[in-house]
Structure 1
Amino acid sequence: MEILFFGTSEFALPTLKLLLESKWKLAGAVTQPDRPRGRGRKVAPPPVKSFLAGSGVPVFQVESPKNLFGLPAFRHLRPAVAVVVAYGKLLPPQILSLPPKGCINLHPSLLPAYRGAAPIQRAIINGEKKTGVTTMYLSPEMDAGDIILQEEVAIEDDATYGELAELLAEKGAALVLKTLTMIDQGSAPRRSQDHSKATYAPPLQPWEERIAWEKKAEDLYNLIRGMNPCPGAYTFFKGRILKIWRAQVIDQDAGDFGPGQVVAVDPKLGFTVQTGQGRLLLQEVQPAGRPRMSGAEFSRGYRIEPGILLGE
């Protein structure tokens, strides 16, 4: 069975690794073009292209999947099935109908919940206690295809976006392999989604990254976890951005302090900030232009004391 792979980001790499090690032939991989990345904005290849360097697998880079048919090498491919993991673009009908055994997608949620581009981050930000991975047959509508297999995954109370994404990528890779085995044997299940229960996970917007101290401590804690390691939740300190990477909820309020005010400083643990309900102990922060540091280091270096207001 020949497989055509579509993927771009690091989330796709565990699946790609298992496919390369499998009994099936990886006929080709489609990924997005090289783009400026990182702080220096240097043009760099996507992770999938870098991973396949030297493997002998043909790599096709196009702005739009529709452009694939203009490539002679692609037109000669005869994949039995396509596997799509974190590709980042919708596939047109002419691609969906190309492999006789269908196009299989790995999605990091328990569909129909959290359809869309940011299911892992949204699940953490919303305070969910569980999520999962789903393999499904792709359809023209986003994340609405028939479900093949699902696996539930618990979200640990302190899990960050980066940590959960890594776990789901590994769980998902194994699920894709199981799915392909069943497809190869002609025994893959198929059930339609209950579209009335669909929820959505749209891309994060820049305004969502800013911490609104009037919200509950628990909600801000979830926001901080869901934004770590990217793009990072932030506040302002003396007019400059201060990113907050790790925090801990302290339930009790401090009577004489308003949202965003520093309540107390612990020389070992960090500093505590009042929210709309409860307090947050800030354990790891990053001032503009500086590396990450502990809340305690920041408190000493920037002379943090009770009453100082964050957010302005």
Structure 2
Amino acid sequence: MRLVFMGTPDFAVPVLEALYASGHQIGGVFTQPDKPAGRGNKLKASPVKVLAEKYGLAVFQPARIKAPEAVDQIRDLQPDCIVVVAFGQILSKEILEIPPFGCINVHASLLPAYRGAAPVHWAVMNGESKTGVTTMLMDEGLDTGAMLISKEYAIVPEATTGEVYDALAQIGAKVLINTLEGLQNGTVRPVPQPKVFSYAPLLKREHEQVDWSWDVAKIHNRIRGLNPWPGAFTLFRGEQVKIWLSELSGKPALSGQTAQNALPGSILSLAKGGLLVQTGEGIIKILELQPAGKKKMRAQDFYNGYRPKANDRFE
């Protein structure tokens, strides 16, 4: 097939690698414009652009994919199919109708579950035991197109979003190649999505702050679900502290504590390299933290540096 590829972040890289190795003709790669990054605000290319240039592929970076000149560029490439993986812009009906085999999206969930911008984050934050990758034939809705191939992936209890994300990227590459082959030989046919679905909205600031009144499992899932980006945070002595790693302590809520110490967020003690913190139900062990303006540190180092007092709490 002659393809146009659209993608931007690391998640899209394995798919582009697989397409290049498979022998499909990649007429052009569309990715987001370079963005300022780092202290010097120097322009940084997307991971997809870096790989495309390595392979000598034509790269296009329209600010608006719906702009007439961008649509003309796509049409001039005469793709049989457009492959879209975390591109970051919504395609117009005009673009969707260009390729005879349609536009195929690689989505990081088992559709119709977790449609939307952050499916991996929300699957981990919600404590799901499985997720997966689905290829679908795109339409004008938000991840509402007919499904092509799905592949499950088991989420182990301590996995972070970053770990699941990396695994799904590799799975997505294989599923996409199988999808293209199936479309070509007629063995894969679109199946409409069920009417019942769930949604994975874009993460906002309020999703990132730990609510210590939650039970221990929900807090643990929130922490690992926001690792490595953007990071769960709490406040300690009025300053932001990000929490990167935690584990379930296996201990119930302590009895015999003072009312003040028993409040959710209370730092109870340092035990086996972790801070034991009271939650709304149960105790969580915090393993790695990062105070504002500082590097990540072990709980032991945080404890030694800040010397939490009896009335100190995470808030």
TM bucket, shorter chain: over 0.9
2:191 is aligned to 191
Corresponding pairs, count = 309
Aligned-CA RMSD value:
1.5
Matches within 5 A, 1:1-312: 1-38=1-38, 41-67=41-67, 69-70=69-70, 74-195=74-195, 197-250=196-249, 251-255=251-255, 256=257, 257-266=262-271, 268-311=272-315
SS of 1:76's equivalent in the other structure is: helix
Deviation at 1:2, TM superposition (A): 0.5
Tell me if structure 2 keeps the 8 A contact 1:107–1:133.
Answer: yes
Shift in alpha-carbon separation, 1:169–1:68, aligned structure 2, 3 A:
farther
Change (3 A) 1:41 1:220: farther
- Deviation string, structure 1 residues 84-122 (Cα, Å, up to 9, x no partner): 000111110111001101111100111011100011001
Is the 1:246–1:283 Cα contact (8 Å) retained in structure 2?
Answer: yes
Counterpart CA distance in 1 for 2:235 and 2:150 is 41
CA distance in 1, matches of 2:73, 2:233: 47
**Structure 1: where are the runs of 5+ without partners?**
none
Cα drift, residue 66 of structure 1: 1.5
Describe the shift of the 1:41–1:233 C-alpha distance in structure 2 as closer, same or farther (beyond 3 A): farther
Alignment TM-score, normalising by the size of structure 1: 0.95
The SS at the match of 2:54 is coil
Contact 2:237 2:312 in 1 (8 A): no
- The amino acid that maps onto 2:242 is K
1:310, distance to aligned residue in structure 2 (A): 1.5
Contact 2:243 2:290 in 1 (8 A): yes
Give the match's secondary structure for 2:89.
coil
**Structure 1 letter corresponding to 2:211:** A
Question: Per the alignment, do residues 39 and 261 of structure 1 end up closer, same or farther by CA in structure 2, a change over 3 Å counting?
Answer: farther
SS of match in other structure, 1:49: helix
Q: Aligned equivalents of 1:47 and 1:17: distance in 2?
A: 12
Give yes or no for contact 2:62–2:70 (8 Å, CA) kept in 1.
Answer: no
Partners in 2 of 1:123 and 1:73 — Cα distance?
37
Distance 1:40 1:219 in 2: 38
Is the CA contact (8 Å cut-off) linking 2:64 and 2:70 kept in structure 1?
no
**Does structure 2 retain, via aligned residues, the 8 Å contact 1:137–1:145?**
yes
Contact 1:103 1:137 in 2 (8 A): yes
CA deviation vs aligned residue, 1:224-281 (integer Å, no higher than 9, x gap): 0110011000111111111000011224102321111111112x41211101001111
- Greater CA deviation, 24-33 or 59-68? 59-68
Question: What's the TM-score once normalised by structure 2's chain length?
Answer: 0.94
Structure 2: segments with no counterpart, 5+ residues: none
Query: 3-state SS of the aligned residue for 1:29?
Result: strand
Contact 1:68 1:74 in 2 (8 A): no
Kindly indicate whether the alpha-carbon contact (under 8 Å) linking 1:69 and 1:75 is maintained by their aligned counterparts in 2: no
Q: Secondary structure at the match of 2:300?
A: helix
Aligned with 2:114: secondary structure? coil
